[in-house]
Structure 1
């Protein structure tokens, strides 16, 4: 199974870049898993559609407005992820939203059946190269949740 972990965000905007920063924490946790690709999706572009379409399973990591305390996170799987993306379409700060990439994948006939969004509530989105303390503290347990999810998918 080919699993794509797509970290998105702008690493020059503090917590907005958490999806990309999290890939560095996650990499050593997934050392024993084959078929897993970690991809820095930056601030998204249409070029990512091909990578998503090529994946059997997809996990997207991004900062998102969850209406929770900074650093709290949630894993939204399958249709729950889709509902969130459709509702958040206009809230995206990216040039191309994840909902747009979902639409492209659906039109191409391949939106991975196994999919999840790991969303982390940001504290600050302003100029800065590193996540704030509450978001940085959320990264290790969020990575453990991602690793657990991937192992479960690979064992199924």
Structure 2
């Protein structure tokens, strides 16, 4: 994709992007998105820092990632560690970690994004990945599992610490009464509180299908 000169000029010099990737529809796979949602609700990020819900966009993210001074990726990654463990990877180890530990299609696509950025000479000057070991990524419509949900504030704090240490960027805390899910980062209907509290019961959703049908198909 080609980024126009006007688009490039509109972006502040030395951009540092905090990118949450993943699919909120599949339980712990939405971890990265929920972390940036948490950060947006509690802090204002002045330029050159930016927050982005990258979802599962893959190659469509390429124009947004060109020429960054720094990229901080947050995602659920299979590190082979105990569930809920937080682990940080930096530099050249990031794409290889995503490639070797991919658990979903969005991670395959993002590995390609990093490779293309490098090939085109637009790779971020610094890149880091803060990941959590998921518990469940197969529960369609499910929210974060308790061990992973408990890591959201911890990883958000790690992102803030990284911004301060590596880029001298200090996001401004929002007033307690001004915090809100999403804070403009996503629509209210899919904010974490609305999404998880609004999930129908197993009986209402027939979440796991009809065992009579599944048995016949499997047999």
Please indicate, yes or no, whether the TM-score normalized by the shorter chain is above 0.5.
yes
Count of aligned positions: 155
Partners of 2:128 and 2:94 in 1: CA distance:
6
Partners of 2:107 and 2:129 in 1: CA distance:
19
Q: Does 1:15 align with 2:25?
A: no
Q: Does 1:109 align with 2:121?
A: yes
Give the corresponding residue for 1:55: 68
Q: Does 1:71 align with 2:71?
A: no
Please tell me whether the aligned partners of residues 44 and 95 of structure 1 are also in contact (alpha carbons under 8 angstroms): no
Give the corresponding residue for 1:85: 98
1:125-151 CA distances to partner (integer Å, 9 max, x unpaired)? 121342010000011111111111011
Aligned match for 2:132, one of 120, 125, 132: 120
TM-score, structure 2 normalization: 0.65
Moved beyond 6 Å, runs of 4+: none
Q: Does 1:39 align with 2:39?
A: no
Distance 1:95 1:18, change over 3 A: closer
Distance 1:116 1:30, change over 3 A: farther
Please tell me whether the aligned partners of residues 77 and 98 of structure 2 are also in contact (alpha carbons under 8 angstroms): no
Aligned match for 2:149, one of 125, 129, 136: 136
Please tell me whether the aligned partners of residues 79 and 101 of structure 2 are also in contact (alpha carbons under 8 angstroms): no
Quote the RMSD (CA, aligned, Å). Answer: 2.0
Q: Between the two structures, name the one with larger relative contact order (CA 8 Å, sep ≥ 6).
A: 1
- Bigger strand share: 1
Please tell me whether the aligned partners of residues 12 and 129 of structure 1 are also in contact (alpha carbons under 8 angstroms): yes
Q: Quick check: which has more Rg, 1 or 2? A: 2
Give the drift of 1:84. Answer: 1.1
